[in-house]
Amino acid sequence: MRVLVVAAPLTGHLLPLVPIARALRDAGHEVVVGTAGEALGVCPPDLTTADVAPRLRMMPLFLRFLARHPRLSREAMAGRDEIRTGALLWAPVNHRMAGGLRDLADRFRPDLVLHEPLAGAASGVARYRSIPSVLVDALLVDTPALFAAVLAAYQPGLPAPTEILSSVPPSLVGGARGRPMRFIGFAPDRPFDETYARPGERPRVLVSRSTVDDPFRDRLMSTVADAAGGTDLDVVLVRPDRWVTRRQLPPNVATTGWLPFPQVLPAAAGIVHHGGAGTLLTALAAGVPQLVLRGSGDRRVNADVLAARGAGLAADLSDLSPALLERLVSDAALTAAAREVAAEMAAMPHPTEVVPVLEQLAARVPGR
């Protein structure tokens, strides 16, 4: 079986697809990942990649959207109307990827397309080749509604996915949204400070920001650093922004480069982050309480969904305080709920167990 895996050209869009892509490859199937931009650089070298949109630069597309849709942009920055805004924002990206994906499909002749929710161009390839498409859901927003909006904005009339594989624990979103598949946190194989893979003398709180470059100043880490000075915690700023590195930090605040969260989160007492779905699910899988700061896009939804489950705290940046950081690591109810969700996620079928389902889907195509 030949499987085309399609991801929008950003790190967080590719990573949730890696475990199932590897499972398919390990089962003896041919797998090619079609993506572009920074996603090419984080795809593991053991997976074959194809650049379907050479020289694609995301920031000019995003800035053009901000200029053309000022009202929607304000809504997006406030974390509102994330489905409509996301669909319109990603439509030009899908148009840029479509031609390269079609050319790749002609060369590779896939039997199945596997994709993430913002890669609407994958559905175009599935219809073009008359093959099934499978949506991998690793978002907390209403993914079926989001993908329907993505298709409507990109190319109305494209078919819905043949199957949905959902890595989101049902207790978080009020029920199953597709065939369950365990979330497996993935991090590229890079050197890191292995001190953070072991517990410290005091509770350690990691602080993470988005992997997406922001044209505006991000005050997350500066604000956390200010609040951390009044705590008895070891606070670690991961990949700090340039504004933080220029200032003096409290004695209990350290900085470090990139860290593989699946390896280091089990040694942490908590994590503060921007609300990206990948970071949130990785922390849940580790059973670690989270403080999620509401932000743009789907990040407000993510923060509030997590808090409603009781597995973390949601806050606006202006609410950050020493007391809130201390509560993150001392509230036993948060830890208990996080561990409940971790157990729920661990009980979901591993990607290797889902491979036969995909094989059966592809086998139904006439002529195979």
- The pLDDT value recorded for residue 213 is 58
Mean pLDDT of the chain: 92
Q: Give pTM, 2 decimals.
A: 0.93
- The pLDDT value recorded for residue 368 is 59
- The pLDDT value recorded for residue 3 is 99
| CATH domain 2-182+349-363 topology | Rossmann fold (3.40.50)
Q: Which residue has the higher pLDDT, 9 or 215?
A: 9
Tokens found for residue 99? 């031609």
CATH architecture assigned to 194-346? 3-Layer(aba) Sandwich (3.40)
Mean pLDDT over residues 215-219, rounded? 64
Q: Which residue has the higher pLDDT, 64 or 327?
A: 327
Q: What φ, ψ does residue 115 adopt, rounded to 5°?
A: -155, 170
Least confident of 60-64, 236-240, 333-337: 60-64
Range picked from 20-34, 47-61, 71-85, 178-192 for highest mean pLDDT: 20-34
- The pLDDT value recorded for residue 298 is 86
- Confidence bin at 67 (pLDDT 50/70/90): confident
Beta strands in the chain (DSSP E): 2-6, 30-35, 48-51, 112-115, 133-137, 163-166, 179-180, 204-207, 234-238, 253-256, 270-273, 290-293, 312-315
Bridge partner residues of 133 (DSSP):
113
Asked if pLDDT for residue 126 goes beyond 80, the answer is: yes
The pLDDT tens digits of the residues spanning 246-266 come to 888 999 999 999 999 999 999
CA 284 – CA 237 distance, rounded (Å): 20
- The pLDDT value recorded for residue 272 is 98
Residues of the chain with CATH 3.40.50.2000: 2-182+349-363, 194-346
Asked if pLDDT for residue 214 goes beyond 60, the answer is: no
Looking at residue 160, what DSSP letter applies?
Answer: P
- The pLDDT value recorded for residue 216 is 54
- The pLDDT value recorded for residue 364 is 85
Mean pLDDT over residues 305-313, rounded? 98
- The pLDDT value recorded for residue 160 is 95
Looking at residue 10, what DSSP letter applies?
Answer: S
The pLDDT tens digits of the residues spanning 267-283 come to 999 999 999 999 999 99
Report yes or no: 169 and 287 within 8 Å, Cβ to Cβ. Answer: no
Strands lying side by side in the sheet with 48-51: 48-51, 30-35, 2-6, 112-115, 133-137, 163-166, 179-180
Mean pLDDT over residues 148-173, rounded? 96
- The pLDDT value recorded for residue 59 is 80
- Confidence bin at 237 (pLDDT 50/70/90): very high
CA 96 – CA 307 distance, rounded (Å): 37
- Confidence bin at 82 (pLDDT 50/70/90): confident
Return the CA Rg of the chain. 20
Asked if pLDDT for residue 215 goes beyond 70, the answer is: no
- Confidence bin at 78 (pLDDT 50/70/90): low
CA 143 – CA 175 distance, rounded (Å): 13
Asked if pLDDT for residue 218 goes beyond 80, the answer is: no
- The pLDDT value recorded for residue 79 is 62
Least confident of 62-71, 198-207, 243-252, 351-360: 62-71
CA 271 – CA 91 distance, rounded (Å): 33
H/E element holding 68?
Answer: helix 58-68
The pLDDT tens digits of the residues spanning 182-210 come to 999 988 888 999 999 999 999 999 999 87
What separation, in Å, do the N-terminal and C-terminal C-alpha atoms of the chain show? 10
Mean pLDDT over residues 207-235, rounded? 83
Range picked from 39-43, 274-278, 324-328 for highest mean pLDDT: 324-328
